[in-house]
Amino acid sequence: MRHLLATLLSCVALASCGVRQAPNEIVVQRFFGTCKAEYGNRTDVENAEGECGIMTTLINRFSAENPDVKVRVSPVAWPGYNQLAAQLASGDPPDLVTMHLSAISDYQSRKLLEPLDKDLRAVGVDPNGFTAASLVSVSKQGQIYGLPIDNWAPLWHINMNYFRQAGLVKDGKPILPRSPEELLAHARQFKQATGKPYFVQALANERAAYTRNLYTLLMQQSVDFFADPQQVKLQSPETKQVVAMFRQLYVEDLTTKNQDYAAATNGFINGAGGVYLVGTWMIGDFDAESRKAGRPLTNGYAVMPWPQLYARDATFIDGHAWVMPVRDRTPRQRDAVFRLLKFLADHDFEWSRTGHLPAYKAVIESERFNALPHRSEIAKIATTGMPLPSAVQRQFPVQDIIGEEMAAAITGHKTVDAALADAEHRVNDLLFHLL
């Protein structure tokens, strides 16, 4: 019986074990994965590669330069919002969190994030130095709720070897369409010349891509589809025209079909089509592929923002930011948080090597940024990039709903009219029932 009691007491003691935060310790919760095997103790940010490598070495260097601060990095499974919601509910959120710009509204509207303006300025980070796209994304009700890390946008990754074959290259630059009609004409011309589809698209598990393209083409027509942040309007003639164009591309086999993200990426690398519609983050991989001999992309890779098909040059953008959840902090912790934010802001160029667009005007205008491969072609997104209105909440599920319905229309399971009516109804229902 004594043994049983001792065992039980040991179990209770073990069960109550947990982790407590030291007064000089800050918890930094982020996605981007872990890569400690390669970058665990390294501080040479300049030599690091990829999102994980650069972020890990950045924080390592900050820790090395600030020995009085203990930074505990807590990586989370992408995107980490379930964990964050749980932490906020239990009153134990981290000190800094990576957050998509499009998700900030969800937390800021419930007063779960701290405004950062005053403290950022105090440590020498001036929000006026953010790019227009970044500034508007972190600004809510006249205050700054995040330190922007970057912007990303759907881009046209182009196989120039096929474009050349299709007669769509002039002066070494890809000839891009300037209207929906021209886009269809180019796609047909491309297919006829190469036998390949014009577009490579990841649609099987990445339907948000449809939505981002739709947003872009509506923004180019200056359609204010979220005039009321709680009510989307998707049954306009402009929206129908865009969806009908994607449907036409699908019907005429001018796009790859039924591919998930991995298959589409793999397909583009192996020459499955002319234009891969995917974000900024793939530039490095495709550029590396173009430098290998005997590959479909060898010496034949270009990347461009969405071409201007309508009156306005605009591209839907999202991005990442550091946000600071509301919680009690010691003065030392608060000081450490803003020192780290200042450090990260000062090193934004390093982050831009990932392929993402810098969040700071000074970096995007710098020679060293424009000297990076293909960056000068996409730099204009810093001014033409547009997020959804900052008051729109639940942007991730909204993207999914619209993408699902667009997929139904494009593949012919629903008419365009029915799909857009359903999308509008479902999104508005979601937004109506927000707490």
Partner 1 sequence: MTTQLSSGAVGRGLGDRVILAATIALAIVMVLPMLWAVGLSLKTNAELLVDTNSVLKAPWTLRNYYDILIGSGVFRWLLNSIIVSVGMSLGVLALSSLAGYGFARLEFPGRNVIFVLVLFGLAIPEQAVILVRHQLFSDLNLHNTYAGLMLPGMSAPFGVFLMTQYFKAIPTEVDEAAMLDNASRFKIFWRVLLPMTLPAQATLGIFTFLHAWNDYWWPLVSGTNEQMYTLTVGIASTQMNFAESAGLGYLMAQAVFAGLPILIVYMFFQKYIVRAVSGAAA
Contact call for residue 265 and partner 1 (CB under 8 A): yes
- Report, in Å, the least distance between residue 74 CB and partner 1: 4
Interacting residues of 161 by C-beta distance below 8 A, sequence separation 6+: 296, 297, 298, 299, 300
Contact call for residue 6 and partner 1 (CB under 8 A): no
- Report, in Å, the least distance between residue 359 CB and partner 1: 18
- Report, in Å, the least distance between residue 418 CB and partner 1: 31
Site for partner 1 in 27-46 (CB under 8 A): 31-38, 40
Span between the terminal Cα atoms of the chain, in Å: 53
Contact call for residue 9 and partner 1 (CB under 8 A): no
Which CB sits closer to partner 1, 152 or 225? 152
- Report, in Å, the least distance between residue 413 CB and partner 1: 25
User: φ, ψ for residue 39 (rounded to 5)?
Assistant: -125, 10
Which CB sits closer to partner 1, 305 or 355? 355
Alpha-carbon distance 178 to 221, whole Å?
Answer: 13
Site for partner 1 in 38-97 (CB under 8 A): 38, 40, 50-52, 72-78, 82-83, 85-87, 89-92
Nearest residue to 121 via CA among 302, 377, 362, 341 = 341
Which CB sits closer to partner 1, 73 or 133? 73
DSSP state of 128: G
DSSP 336-350: HHHHHHHHHHHTHHH
Which CB sits closer to partner 1, 16 or 128? 16
Cis peptide before 154 (omega within 30 of 0): no
**Amino acid in position 262:** A
Nearest residue to 264 via CA among 331, 322, 333, 202 = 202
Residue whose token pair is 């994965």? 33
Interacting residues of 194 by C-beta distance below 8 A, sequence separation 6+: 162, 165, 166, 274
Which CB sits closer to partner 1, 154 or 307? 154
| Contacting residue, 95, 150, 289, 377, with partner 1 by CB under 8 A | 289
| Contacting residue, 266, 298, 376, 415, with partner 1 by CB under 8 A | 266
Alpha-carbon distance 342 to 336, whole Å?
Answer: 10
Taking a C-beta distance cutoff of 8 angstroms, is the pair 301, 159 a contact?
Answer: yes
Alpha-carbon distance 94 to 73, whole Å?
Answer: 10
Binding mask 409-428 for partner 1 (x = CB under 8 A): --------------------
Choose the stretch contacting partner 1; rule: CB under 8 A; options: 59-67, 170-178, 256-264, 414-422: 256-264
- Total residues interacting with partner 1, rule: CB under 8 A: 46
Give the residues lining the site for partner 1 (CB under 8 A). 11-12, 14-19, 31-38, 40, 50-52, 72-78, 82-83, 85-87, 89-92, 260-262, 265-266, 269-270, 281, 285, 289
